[in-house]
Amino acid sequence: MKIIEFNDYISKVGGAEEIFKTSIELLDKNNEIFTMSFDNGDLKNHIYLKNDNFIIKLINKYLFNPFLYLKIKKICNDVNPDVIHIHNINCAPITILMAIKNHKIAHTVHSFGIVCPISWCIHKSDNKPCNGSSGLQCLKHCVPKYGKRGILLAPYLLYFKLIQHLKRRYITKYITPSKKLNEIMVCNGFKNIITINNPSIPHKTSEITEECLKKSFETKTILYVGKMVDLKGVRDYFENIQNNTKYNFVFVGDGQLLEELRTSNKNPNIKFLGVVDHKNIYKIYKESSIVIVPSKCMDNFPTTILESKTHGKPVIAKNIGGIPEMITGGHDGILFENFSEIPEKIDKIMENYTIYQNYALNSSKSRLKFGKEKYLNKLINELKN
């Protein structure tokens, strides 16, 4: 097949970018692949769409750019692909969709942003999950929480509705990593949706030996990797471990809460490392006992959980979004409803080495459900049909 793979960026670090690059790597073996993005990537057959002017960025983001439209349309006509596989197209959604509308389009959806204007799919007023029906619910539960800035959200809803309309009209097929996102998209009028779990993409896997497991258990280190923002549950998690000195708590990642929590922290067992590169994150994963995923928002299919499994780490995560599809409670991890349960859940896994060992080995084995070959076979089948 001749395929155009399209994502906003290649170089940014994120789950969508990892899946974008993995799709290219896997599909390139038996297909002719062309790539498009708004940054210049070192990829074969890559088409760079320049987007470095502030005014042009605004036009591309919210309006229709005829010059970009003609460029993308010409590229698609020249390549004449069997299918265009898009990922995130937030940099120029209207222009891109109009330019590629005459081709077969498959869209891998990486977040609940397809049904929710703020992407998180929870009410800002009370943090309860939302079904993504943008409109009156947004005006009731989210707009007031933005204060004066909320005035801007009302016209943004109209823009958001336009993007949804264009996607429903022109996109041939949707691919969601989680069944939960699939269900919510169906409730919001989207059709032709198939669920394909994201593959595990280890930069380096940990060796799961008896010696390594014992070392991991003995470090008593509880790891969080992700954005340091409220909707990821970081503040609530921090508040529930502030006085816990039984374990070492490590936070990896950057965001608006990093300095606030670092400054207010009085517990010597809590450490904030900020951004860490792939080489060092491997070492941190290897030395950790448990990984925490405390998201308050509707996480789709967190890469952190897949990474944890490749390192054989039990996961304690909130029972929300697509997370329950990745963890079997009491087997390879534990799900929680309330943040106050976290210390108790940690104690349960760390009660003794035998219990910990079972969780860790089960976590390592469960990664096989998310293999690259399984993902590739399903993806090719959907792109062909």
What CATH number is given to the structural domain containing 298?
A: 3.40.50.2000
Task: Tell me the whole-structure pTM to 2 decimals.
Answer: 0.92
Output the pLDDT for position 352: 97
Check whether residue 186 and residue 282 sit in a common domain.
Answer: no
> 253 and 339 share a domain?
yes
Whether 205 is in a domain gets the answer no
Residue 176 falls inside a structural domain: yes
Same domain assignment for residues 344 and 283: yes
Same domain, 34 and 146: yes
Q: What is the structure's pLDDT at 22?
A: 92
Q: Which residue has the tokens 């009491």?
A: 330
Q: Are residues 345 and 291 in the same domain?
A: yes
Domain residue limits at 303: 210-369
Question: By C-alpha distance, which of 282, 321, 281 is closest to 302?
Answer: 321
**What is the residue-averaged pLDDT of the chain?**
93
Instruction: Give the residue ranges of the chain where pLDDT is below 50.
Output: none
Q: What are the CA-CA distances from residue 26 to residues 226, 350, 372 (Å)?
A: 26, 38, 8
What's the N-to-C CA distance of the chain in angstroms?
Answer: 11
The number of folded domains in the chain is: 2
Classified as helix, coil or strand, 80 is: coil
Is 140 a member of any domain?
A: yes
Helix ranges restricted to H, 28-101: 54-62, 66-79, 93-100
Which pLDDT value is given to residue 120?
83
Q: For residues 328 and 375, state if they share a domain.
A: no
Whole-number pLDDT of residue 118: 82
What CA–CA distance (Å, rounded) separates 57 from 62?
A: 9
Say whether both 8 and 67 belong to one domain. Answer: yes
Whether 59 and 133 share a structural domain: yes
**pLDDT at res. 132:** 75
Q: Which amino acid is at 247?
A: Y
Q: Do 137 and 220 belong together in one domain?
A: no
Instruction: Based on the fold, state whether residues 278 and 183 are members of the same structural domain.
Output: no
- For strand 248-252 and strand 32-37, is the pairing parallel, antiparallel, or unpaired? unpaired
User: Is residue 177 located within the same domain as residue 196?
Assistant: yes
Predicted confidence at residue 150, as pLDDT, reads 64
> Tell me, what's the pLDDT at 127?
78
How high is the pLDDT of residue 149?
A: 65
236 and 117 in one domain?
no
Question: Which amino acid does the sequence have at 59?
Answer: I
